């Protein structure tokens, strides 16, 4: 049976979460109070906060590399490397607008960022700081980015989905592998590649989730309604803000403006589980490396159709998952 531990009550909303790629307990947060925080989720909640790293403006995303260094980006336009062992920060360079997404790539041994300046950039921390090693133009401002061992995928404004081949990026090729139009009719909130490497899922502000497949996959794309409720006889639609795939089972979790977290079975095309309601909108989600924990950020953020009561609050939870909480029914 799953169990929640509340780690903290943040001063402001949490924009993003990232677990360490090999340490199942280390968690980093990107926060609107202009900080990155590092937690050890194996410790009691009062002792879990390990470090706080101040930035000049709200932080929108974080990512770890394999050595435990943290990378961040946000509204100050800077791309940062943070070394928790020395508490030092290094600015690798800058975008010309807010840095919406940062992801470390083991394949490239480099950092990939995507910005509201409508560019995707690759940074090599070993080189002199100040400029990216590669700049790719996007059709519009970036909203979400994900990487696996072969691809980078970016969801942008105007419902564009751009797919890059990492091997081509390593050779300096700036043209994307594919440019697609999202199958969702409204603004994309999140895009994530599946662990199997066959496709990706996207979420939108209109309470829908789409599952699409990469070239060569036999499956047909599909979309379905999610994070909706009938309130006072009215079908109420909530934005689906967050999505993360389970690293072992291939199921995925979504979080919405309805303050709920759902687990979805990709193969069965149905909801597997819904957890209890949280005290505000779900703004970010992350599974740890072995899928035994799910970090859940809930934040009081302004969203159309979402109202908060007196009990609403910004909070960070870590759910220790039961053996079957995210396992597909077909695997039981």
Which three-class secondary structure string do you get for the chain? CCEEEEEECCCCCEEEEEECCCCCCEEEEEECCCEEEEEECCCCHHHCEEEEEECCCCEEEEEECCCCCEEEEECCCEEEEEECCCCEEEEEEECCCCEEEEEEECCCCEEEEEECCCEEEEECCCCCCCCCCEEEECCCCEEEEEECCCEEEEEEHHHEEEEEEHHHHHCCCCCCCEEEECCCCCCEEEEEECCCCCEEEEEECCCEEEEEECCCCCCCCEEEECCEEEECCEEEECCEEEEEECCCCCCEEEEECCCCEEEEECCCCEEEEECCCCCCEEEEEEECCCCCEEEEEEECCCCCCCCCCCCCCCEEEEEECCCCCCCCHHHC
Banded pLDDT at 136 (limits 50, 70, 90): very high
Banded pLDDT at 231 (limits 50, 70, 90): confident
Q: Which CATH superfamily is domain 4-320 in?
A: YVTN repeat-like/Quinoprotein amine dehydrogenase (2.130.10.10)
Instruction: Compute φ and ψ for 293, nearest 5 degrees.
Output: -135, 145
Going from N- to C-terminal start, the domains of the chain cover 4-320
Question: Could you tell me the two tokens for 161?
Answer: 């989905």
pLDDT of residue 331: 59
Structure-model confidence comparison of residues 56 and 267, the more confident one: 56
Q: 290-331, pLDDT tens digit by residue?
A: 999 999 999 998 877 677 787 889 999 999 999 889 998 765
Q: 26-78, pLDDT tens digit by residue?
A: 999 999 999 999 999 999 999 999 999 999 999 999 999 999 999 999 999 99
pLDDT of residue 216: 65
Give bridge partners of residue 43 from the DSSP assignment. Answer: none
38 and 51 Cβ atoms separated by less than 8 Å: yes
Banded pLDDT at 128 (limits 50, 70, 90): confident
Q: 93-109, pLDDT tens digit by residue?
A: 999 999 999 999 999 99
C-alpha 24/C-alpha 83 separation (Å) is: 18
Please provide the size of the chain in residues. 332
Structure-model confidence comparison of residues 121 and 197, the more confident one: 121
Q: Is 287 exposed, middle or buried (0-12, 13-18, 19+ CB in 10 A)?
A: buried
Check whether 162 has a pLDDT greater than 90: yes
The neighbour count for residue 187, using CB atoms within 10 Å, is: 15
Q: 167-210, pLDDT tens digit by residue?
A: 999 999 999 999 999 989 999 999 999 998 889 999 999 999 99
C-alpha 54/C-alpha 134 separation (Å) is: 28
C-alpha 11/C-alpha 84 separation (Å) is: 22
pLDDT of residue 219: 77
Question: Could you tell me the two tokens for 7?
Answer: 């780690």
115 and 98 Cβ atoms separated by less than 8 Å: yes
308 and 299 Cβ atoms separated by less than 8 Å: no
Q: 211-224, pLDDT tens digit by residue?
A: 999 876 667 889 99
89 and 76 Cβ atoms separated by less than 8 Å: no
C-alpha 198/C-alpha 209 separation (Å) is: 17
């Amino acid at each position: 049976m799953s169990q929640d531990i509340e780690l903290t009550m943040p001063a402001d909303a949490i924009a993003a979460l990232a677990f360490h790629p090999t340490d199942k307990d280390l968690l980093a947060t990107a926060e609107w109070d202009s900080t990155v925080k590092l937690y050890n989720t194996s410790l009691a909640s009062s002792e879990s906060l390990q470090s706080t790293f101040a930035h000049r403006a709200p932080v929108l995303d974080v990512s770890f590399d394999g050595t435990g260094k943290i990378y961040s980006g946000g509204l100050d336009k800077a791309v940062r490397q943070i070394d928790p062992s020395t508490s030092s920060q290094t600015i690798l360079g800058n975008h010309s607008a807010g840095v919406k997404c940062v992801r470390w790539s083991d394949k490239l041994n480099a950092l990939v960022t995507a910005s509201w300046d409508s560019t995707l950039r690759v940074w090599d921390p070993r080189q002199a700081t100040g400029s990216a090693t590669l700049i790719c133009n996007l059709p519009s401002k970036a909203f979400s980015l994900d990487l696996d061992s072969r691809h980078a995928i970016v969801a942008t404004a105007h419902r564009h989905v751009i797919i890059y081949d990492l091997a081509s990026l390593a050779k300096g090729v700036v043209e994307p592998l594919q440019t697609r139009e999202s199958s969702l009719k409204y603004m994309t909130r999140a895009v994530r590649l599946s662990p199997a490497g066959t496709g990706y899922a996207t979420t939108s502000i209109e309470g829908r989730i789409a599952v699409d497949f990469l070239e060569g996959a036999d499956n047909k794309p599909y979309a379905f309604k999610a994070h909706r409720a009938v309130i006072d006889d009215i079908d109420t639609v909530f934005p689906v803000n967050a999505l993360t795939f389970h690293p072992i089972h291939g199921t995925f979790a979504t979080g919405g403006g309805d303050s709920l977290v759902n687990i979805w079975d990709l193969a069965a095309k149905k909801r597997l589980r819904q957890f209890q309601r949280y005290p505000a909108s779900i703004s970010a989600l992350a599974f740890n490396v072995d899928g035994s924990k799910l970090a859940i950020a809930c934040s009081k953020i302004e969203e159309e159709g979402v109202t908060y009561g007196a009990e609403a609050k910004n909070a960070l939870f870590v759910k220790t998952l039961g053996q079957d909480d995210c396992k597909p029914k077909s695997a039981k």
